[in-house]
Amino acid sequence: MIAALACSALLGACSSPSAYIVRGIDTSSPVTTRSTSSSSAWSGGSGEQKIGRPYTINGRTYVPARDDDYDEVGISSWYGPNFHGRQTANGELFDQNLMTAAHPTLPIPAMIEVTNLENGRTAVLRLNDRGPFAHDRILDVSRAAAVELGFLEQGTTQVRVRYLGPPDGVAPAGTVADSQIRTVSQSNGRFRVQVGAFSRRENAEALRRRVADEGYAEIQTVNVNGRRIFRVFVGDDMTRSEADRMSRRLSRYGVHDATVVALN
């Protein structure tokens, strides 16, 4: 989890004097590499939102959970240069120039609406990391988001955070489990690997083509709670060890949440 440094480290990132421009707004403190990505924050990713198990940081236990009605007010801080280029909690690379955020318990990836209650500015951010872990804070945002929300130099601000749902092409948390896919731990039996679950078939087709070099890839359509979900599988009739190796290899295609499942 890249957003786990203490408050002092985050505030230290706000003290350097050189000029920099993000989204047309003059700010301070240096930046290393500007992102060349032009993709929407709503797009990208594969599979289902992750929730994760309860965890303890600095003596405090956090219990991740899906909360579609999440709408909370609290303090937000920001993080940037010290984490630029490192992995986030869901395997994406943190880019301080993109509009992203970290939250201790909401599913990831997710889209959230953040309003700075001190100046009225609002931004939609992609949630892809865990943190912050200071007791008085509910959110960490990227450097670019802090600029957009207007609190980069002051370091923290009071915000309202509203959950909007998963990004396009990512199934809501719990959807795959509800569709009776079985994750297995035993070594016997025959297996394949699920690499994604999508609400739009074109996203499933794009991922199927991307991972086809790993072997047989197919799309399976199921209805879950009245919604059509397109699941992408790679491989067929493998041993557990073969499936495990394949799931690890898939990271080269940007798939960090592949799941080994038993053949029915």
In a domain, 190, yes or no: yes
Model confidence at 188, pLDDT cuts 50, 70, 90, reads low
**C-alpha–C-alpha distance, residues 96 and 101, integer Å:** 10
- Boundary of a domain, candidates 165, 196, 228: 165
Whether 84 and 114 share a structural domain: yes
Banded pLDDT at 222 (limits 50, 70, 90) = confident
The larger pLDDT score, comparing residue 8 to residue 182, is at 182
Integer angstrom CA distances of residue 91 from 65, 111, 128, 251 = 19, 16, 8, 9
**DSSP tag of 180:** T
pLDDT on residue 158: 97
Share of the chain above pLDDT 90, in %: 29
- Of 77, 235, 227, 92, the closest CA to residue 161 belongs to 77
Domains of the chain: total: 2
Lowest mean pLDDT among 119-123, 193-197, 208-212, 230-234: 193-197
Domain encompassing residue 190: 175-262
The CA distance from 70 to 183, in Å, is: 28
**pLDDT score for 111:** 93
- Is the pLDDT confidence value at 112 over 90? yes
What mean pLDDT comes out for the span 59-74?
90
**Alpha carbons 95 and 35: distance in angstroms, whole number:** 7
The answer, yes or no, to whether residue 20 has pLDDT greater than 70, is: no
Q: Answer whether residue 170 is part of any domain.
A: no
Of the candidates 147, 165, 183, which is a domain's last residue? 165
| 79 and 188 fall within a common domain | no
| Residue 124: band (very low, low, confident or very high) from pLDDT cuts 50, 70, 90 | very high
Q: 188 and 122 share a domain?
A: no
The pLDDT assigned to 163 comes to 94
How many whole angstroms separate alpha carbon 44 and alpha carbon 166? 11
Please report, as a single letter, which amino acid is at residue 185.
S
Which residue, 145, 165, 185, sits at the end of a domain?
Answer: 165
Residues 6 or more apart whose CB falls under 8 angstroms from that of 36 comprise none
Mean pLDDT of the chain: 76
Considering the domain architecture, whether residues 155 and 189 belong to the same structural domain is answered as no
Please tell me the least confidently modeled range out of 25-39, 142-156, 221-235: 25-39
Mapped to the 3 state alphabet, what secondary structure does 103-155 carry? CCCCCECEEEEEEECCCCCEEEEEEEECCCCCCCEEEEEEHHHHHHHCCCCCC
Lowest mean pLDDT among 43-47, 90-94, 153-157, 218-222: 43-47
Same domain membership, residue 198 and residue 88: no
Looking at the fold, whether 24 and 136 belong to one and the same domain comes out as: yes
Question: Could you give the CA distance from residue 123 to residue 114 in angstroms, rounded to a whole number?
Answer: 5
Closest by CA to 18, choosing from 73, 81, 61, is 81
Is residue 214 within 8 A of residue 234, CB to CB? The reply is yes
Of the candidate ranges 74-78, 114-118, 227-231, the one whose mean pLDDT is the lowest: 227-231
Torsion of CA 113, 45, 24, 80, to 10 degrees: 80
Give the global pTM.
0.59
Name the residue among 188, 203, 149, 156 with its Cα closest to residue 39: 203
Say yes or no: 118 and 249 in one domain: no
Q: What is the model's pLDDT at position 137?
A: 93
Nearest to 90 by CA among 173, 148, 157: 173
